[in-house]
Chain A
Amino acid sequence: MTIAAFDTAKRPKRDYSLVGESTRWAVETGLASAEWYHTEVPRKTMKELMKRTDGPAIRDTVLWIALILGSAAGAIYFWGTWWCVPFFFVYGVLYGSSSDSRWHECGHGTAFRTDWMNNVVYQIASFMLMRNPVAWRWSHARHHTDTIIVGRDAEIAVMRPPDLLRTGFAFVGIMDFRYALPGLFRQAFGKLSDDEKSYIPESEQPKAVAAARWHVAMYIATVVVALYTWSFLPLMLIGTPRLYGMWHMVLTGLLQHIGLADNVTDHRLNTRTVYMNPISRWIYWNMNYHVEHHMFPMVPYHALPKLHELIKHDLPEANPSMWHAYKEVWPVVKRQLKYEDHYLKRELPPTARPYREEFHNFVLPTAAE
């Protein structure tokens, strides 16, 4: 679709609902479902990178399950003593954070070559995350079609002006829990919001309701077991890890897009790649290579480092660490509190093809470089 020339003066104030003024504007200007910039990669090379195999994901999943069961066993064994704390720390991160990357990769269908394996892990991870597996599959498809297009993208983590309190609470899962659980109950009663209806096709909506009912039934069963045994332990193992274990998911995931441009059609402007330590990369399944993932969502997580090496000449330099990335973006986020059009425009190396300014210049005057 061709993008119309923007008239900045007519751009409505950011409205993050998916059926409001910003939605209308994005559709009218052609920002919705637009054609996005891609770095050129020869077809033969891309085919090699896209190639699916079960090996790495089976290895990682066996390890993942073993660590989850092992840490849960330790937590149960030491329940009632302080020794259970380190086990819950590990269990929580595996349950509340690493499940996000498993949900993500298996949702894309890229983790395993054998698709039923993707589907099984996707369902388990969706439950751990309190995410409706049907609704979120569609919201994530929209996130890839319209990445950080206001009024279209259902997965914008930090809106403008940023709500710092809400973002801070996200690290301990409070806000997410606050919305995820009631959302599941609402869906279980057959009520989908207007936003959800905007990205879940009508034919799939009954499946979303059925999935919510399964999840709610499992949470009710957990509460019943907790009451029957008169112990908080079942809830520490199912449900609440979403609170105490999601800090790593937020720590890594916030960096994907925070402080960068919105309403653009070049992932180099609205997405960030950050080098991370090997443990975080394993938990996050290499989603720190996020520009690469958005440009080429068919490349499995284990091939993203190779893809990065191949196309980094055309991307802004990766942040060398999470600390560096947060330090860089913090002043931008602070400024967005007063000037919501402000954003961080990361500089391209001389080897890169330039940004298509004609599509994006409506926000450039306030960009920080």
Chain B
Amino acid sequence: MAEWIEACAADDIDEEDVIRFDHAGRTFAIYRSPDDEYFATDGLCTHEKVHLADGLVMDDVIECPKHNGRFNYKTGQALRAPVCVNLKTYPVKVEAGKVLIQLD
């Protein structure tokens, strides 16, 4: 059953940036967009299992730090080779200054 998990405080993430969140043996990437919205995806690039939290956020895009593959972190869509497989995304909400993500 899906549950909401507290990932971090909303101001732990700078605008247009990403941080890593590990939970129950899994790793996630939590994003704050330039429009001050929050998003979450799997934490590892679908190409070579590199942590996306070390990458670069540009508008709606996260670029992997190892091979420069790109995803739309809002939809998970793979945008630029060498990534071909989409990234899994998770619902996010902000409550009382905390970022929560819904995990299945």
Contacts and interface: CB of A to CB of B under 8 A. Distances in A.
Interface of A: 33, 47, 50-52, 108-110, 113, 115, 137-138, 141, 144-145, 201, 203-204, 296-298
A43 B34 CA distance: 18
Contacts of A33: 48-49
Given A108-B68, A141-B67, A141-B82, 15 more contacts: A47-B17, A52-B56, A52-B58, A109-B63, A109-B68, A109-B80, A137-B81, A141-B47, A141-B81, A145-B48, A204-B81, A297-B65, A297-B68, A298-B63, A298-B68
10 contacts: A109-B80, A115-B80, A137-B82, A141-B81, A144-B66, A144-B67, A297-B65, A297-B67, A297-B68, A298-B65
Contacts of B70: 109, 115
A201 B84 CA distance: 9
Contacts of B80: 109, 115
Contacts of A145: 48, 66-67
Q: Top 8 closest A-B pairs, CB basis?
A: A141-B82, A50-B56, A141-B67, A109-B68, A108-B68, A298-B65, A137-B81, A298-B56
- Chain B interface helix/strand/loop/mixed: loop
Contacts of B48: 33, 141, 145
Contacts of B47: 141
Given A47-B17, A145-B48, A110 B67 contact: no
Contact of A297 (B58, B66, B81, B84): B66
Contacts of B82: 137-138, 141
A49 to B, nearest CB: 10
Contacts of A201: 84
Interface of B: 17, 47-49, 55-56, 58, 63, 65-68, 70, 80-82, 84
A138 B65 contact: no
Contacts of A137: 81-82
A110 B68 contact: yes
Contacts of B84: 201, 203-204
Contacts of A50: 56
A50 B57 CA distance: 10
B84 to A, nearest CB: 6
Contact of B56 (A47, A144, A203, A204): A47
Contacts of A51: 56
Nearest to A134: B81
Contacts of B63: 109, 298
Tell which of B47, B48, B55, B68 has the most Cβ of chain A within 10 Å. Answer: B68
Nearest to B53: A43
A115 B58 CA distance: 11
A52 B49 CA distance: 24
A51 B70 CA distance: 15
Nearest to B56: A50
A307 to B, nearest CB: 14
Nearest to A113: B58
A73 B34 CA distance: 47
A50 B66 CA distance: 12
A126 B70 CA distance: 21
B81 to A, nearest CB: 5
Contacts of A297: 65-68
